[in-house]
Every structure is written in C-alpha cells, then in structure tokens.
Amino acid sequence: MAHARLMSGNELAKQTVDDAANRAAVFERETGRCPCLATVLIGDDPASETYVRMKQNRCRQAGIESRSVRLPATTTTGEAVECITTLSGDSGVDGILVQHPVPPQVDERAVFEAIAPSKDVDGVTMYSFAAMAFGEPGFVSCTPGGIMRLLDAYDVELAGTHAVVIGRSPILGKPVGMLLLAQHATVTYCHSRTVDLPSVLREADLVVAAVGTPEFVRGDWLKPGAVVVDAGYNPGNIGDVHFAEAAETASLLTPVPGGIGPMTIAVLLSQTVEAAGRHRS
C-alpha cells in the first residue's frame, strides 16, 4: 500500500501555464504583438521533432507565438551559429530554444553560446548558468526550475536538509544541486563513480533522481519519510525511481508521467513571457 503523497506536476504546470497565458494576453494588449519563442531544430531526429512540436503547441495554447526554424541534418556549426545570432538580434523574438541533441558535426556548446542571455529561456548558456550559481537574475534551466517550483508549491522545507542529487549533467543534475544549495540545503552529488550509492541515499532527506536508467532508485535505498523527486523520463513513461517501492517509504513523491515533465514545459513558457516583458522595459 502506498503511503507517499504525490506532488502533482500536472496541477502546478496548469497553474503556471495559465499564469503565463494571462501575462501573454496583457503583453499583447499593451504592445500589439504576442511574446515569441523561436524553436530551432537541426536535423530530423523523430523524437526531437515530437518534443519541438509539443512545445510549439503548448506555446500557441498559451498565446505565445511560436516561430519554427528547421535546419538540415548537414548544417555546420558556423551555419547554426549564424542562424542563432540572427535570432538573437531579431527584436520580434523573445526566447530561443535549440532542441537537444544536435547532429554530431555541430558543436552544441558553440550554438548555445550564440543565444543572447536575455533570450536564453531554456537556460542553456554559460551566462545563465553563472547567473544562477551567483544568485543573480537570469533564466534557469527549465527542468531544475520546475523541480524547485514544485518543491516550493508543496512547502518542502529545504534549509538544513540533506539533499542528494543523482546525476551531474549541465542541464539537470548540476544546476538543481546549486539551486538546492541556494535554498540552504546540504547537497551531495552522486554519479556513476559514486561508491555505495544506496548508503549515501539512506542519509538523504531529499532525493533528486536524474540518472536516465528506468527504476534505478529502489525503495530500500530511501530514508523513511524522504522527499523524492523523479526527474527521469525513460521510454514507456518510466521514471528513474521504482515508483511502487518508493511510495512505501517516501513522504512526498513525484509521479512519472505527470510530475517533473509537465513542469519543464511550463517553466519554458513562463520564462518566455518573462523575457518578453524584460525586452519591453
């Protein structure tokens, strides 16, 4: 029997998107144009096409214009950088999202760095990362941003707690650990070289799983009453946490699907509307 209370990303994402839609409507009334997100897809990876289409649909539903830019699979780094530089200078574009992954011949970092920080609504540039690390204003990577909003909505006390983040990717594990640190959690990062991960996890008041392996975190690795955030999203809608087992031990738990996934897009829309407002002033 499950004991954990679920943290519903669906519910909070809906509120976040509704709020973004209201702000987009005000922006349109006052400026005569909608906030605009440019999505850049390089190549023809079917999964990436689906993700981009989903983001574009959600934009339209929220009254955000979606400008679709498609570049061929043969695009060079120089061509991609030129395209992003043009969008960065286009006053009709408020946010830029480059869909990951890019084809192997393209230097993804160089492409990301061509995004103007004021339009980096997906939080992928080094500028945005540094701003987050220094606690300065800027856009956060969307999944970590969504996790923090969800924890806040469920009044999870972070100060003084021991948070363990499994994963250290630049878009997810690393930034979420830094955001937790900024909220005064004591943060431990775990990764593929961590020795005896279960014993580290058993000390954790809060666990963020960002591993990319289905049902990786087992129930008996968790401290009773822990708060568990499952950021994983594996084929078949399976998270990085063994849901049924974790539900026996955790006090709060995010489901997959319906947890962190919807929050990621909601933060993207919210940050796009915020970027539009900042460009105006």
Which alpha helices (H) appear in the chain, and where do they start and end?
9-31, 46-61, 77-88, 108-113, 126-134, 142-153, 173-182, 197-201, 243-249, 260-280
Q: Minimum CB separation from ligand NAP for residue 213, in Å?
A: 6
**Which range, of 23-31, 72-80, 259-267, 273-281, touches ligand NAP by CB under 6 A?**
259-267
Q: Quick check: is 99 catalytic?
A: yes
Q: Which of 69, 84, 158, 172 binds ligand NAP (CB under 6 A)?
A: 172
**Which range, of 29-37, 89-97, 153-161, 230-238, touches ligand NAP by CB under 6 A?**
230-238
**Which range, of 16-24, 104-112, 113-121, 206-214, touches ligand NAP by CB under 6 A?**
206-214
DSSP structural state of residue 159: T
**Which range, of 119-127, 132-140, 147-155, 165-173, touches ligand NAP by CB under 6 A?**
165-173
Q: Is 264 in the site for ligand NAP (CB under 6 A)?
A: yes
DSSP structural state of residue 238: B
All residues at 6 or more sequence positions from 255 whose CB lies less than 8 Å from its CB, including other chains:
6, 8, 9, 230, 239, 243
Q: Applying CB under 6 A, what is the total number of residues that bind ligand NAP?
A: 26
The label of the residue with tokens 């760095």 reads 113
What x/- string results for residues 25 through 64 when contact with ligand NAP is judged by CB under 6 A? ----------------------------------------
Partnered with residue 42 across adjacent β-strands are: 71
HSE-CB for 68 with a 13 A CA cutoff: 12
Q: Minimum CB separation from ligand NAP for residue 267, in Å?
A: 9
- The residue among 52, 7, 46 whose CA lies nearest residue 239 is 7
Helix (H, G, I), strand (E, B) or coil at 88: helix
Q: Is 257 in the site for ligand NAP (CB under 6 A)?
A: no
Q: Is 190 in the site for ligand NAP (CB under 6 A)?
A: yes
Number of neighbours of residue 250 by Cβ within 10 angstroms: 28
Q: Quick check: is 122 catalytic?
A: yes
Q: Quick check: is 55 catalytic?
A: yes
Q: Which of residues 132-151 bind ligand NAP (CB under 6 A)?
A: 143
Rounded CA gap, 202 and 219, in Å? 10
The label of the residue with tokens 């699979």 reads 73
Position with the least CB separation from ligand NAP: 169
Asked if 40 contacts 67 with a C-beta cutoff of 8 angstroms, the reply is no
Asked if 142 contacts 99 with a C-beta cutoff of 8 angstroms, the reply is no
Q: Select which of 94, 122, 205, 230 is catalytic.
A: 122
Q: Select which of 94, 99, 174, 271 is catalytic.
A: 99
Would you please indicate which residues are annotated as catalytic (active-site) residues? Answer: 55, 99, 122
Site residues (vs ligand NAP, CB under 6 A): 143, 166-169, 171-173, 190-194, 197, 210-213, 231-234, 240, 260-261, 264
